[in-house]
């Protein structure tokens, strides 16, 4: 019908596609209107599973810049990509990522809270720290994921999308000299107009618990290799 919706064809459970490409389902129909649910299918779901502990391995012990880095199987990388919810989920989906958390870095205040950081007065930026297995995924690929996610925002100072302010400045924060060389080369390839900062990793303060894996809690998939569009609002 030339893009028009024939409401007479609607039934409870009918799947629709919104103008922005997101899928939703009809949940209620009355004589005058109908209601849709655009939440991810797993939103609000819970499950139980039986698990057994197979092994325990040491994780990274150093989280700030150290020229030679640290020994061990796993490495740490830190990125600022605007609002940290979507970036964290993107990294959770990548093979070789064994852990993620979001928080605040590159600031002066001790143990900042979300509201303080959002005021732009603490000097921090919202950031994602990932723990990865370099035998599975390279640091160079992780930096490219960050730059791809930024898109044209890499040329905007203190802004990613509609989020503006120093707390949303984007950056790659290297943890050792090997990461430094990779980060400078990769970011530098985007030219002088790219304003993504490349700096040594500094103190990382964990964000409040409800921010951790926020979009996963909202029902979006974090399965490895998942390519479903990430919705940054939950």
Structure tokens at 184: 């400078």
Instruction: Identify which of 204, 184, 187, 186 has the alpha carbon closest to the alpha carbon of residue 195.
Output: 187
Question: What is Dmax (Cα atoms) for the chain?
Answer: 69
Is 118 annotated as catalytic? no
Reduce the DSSP state of residue 176 to 3 states and report it. Answer: coil
Q: Is 3 left (phi over 0), alpha (psi -120 to 50) or beta?
A: left
Contact (Cβ atoms closer than 8 angstroms) between residue 222 and residue 212: no
H or E stretch covering 115: helix 114-118
Q: Which of 24, 83, 118, 194 is catalytic?
A: 83
Active centre residues (catalytic) = 83
């Amino acid at each position: 019908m030339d893009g028009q919706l024939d409401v007479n064809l609607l039934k409870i459970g009918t799947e629709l596609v919104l103008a922005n490409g997101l899928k939703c389902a009809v949940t209620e129909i009355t004589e005058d209107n109908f209601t849709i649910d655009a939440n991810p299918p797993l939103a609000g779901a819970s499950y139980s599973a039986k698990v057994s502990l197979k092994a325990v391995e040491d994780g990274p012990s150093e989280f700030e810049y150290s020229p030679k880095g640290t020994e061990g199987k796993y490495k740490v990388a830190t990125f600022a990509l605007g609002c940290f919810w979507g970036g964290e989920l993107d990294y959770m989906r990548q093979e070789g990522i064994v852990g993620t958390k979001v928080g605040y870095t590159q600031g002066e205040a001790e143990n900042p809270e979300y509201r303080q950081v959002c005021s732009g007065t603490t000097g921090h930026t919202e950031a994602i720290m990932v723990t990865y297995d370099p035998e599975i995924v390279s640091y160079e690929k992780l930096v490219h994921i960050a730059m791809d996610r930024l898109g044209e925002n890499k040329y905007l100072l203190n802004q990613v999308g509609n989020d503006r302010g120093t707390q949303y400045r984007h950056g790659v924060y290297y943890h050792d000299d090997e990461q430094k060389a990779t980060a400078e080369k990769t970011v530098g390839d985007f030219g002088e107009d790219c304003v993504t900062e490349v700096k040594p990793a500094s103190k990382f303060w964990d964000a409040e618990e409800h921010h951790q894996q926020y979009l996963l809690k909202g029902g979006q998939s974090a399965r490895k290799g998942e390519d479903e569009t990430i919705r940054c609002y939950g």
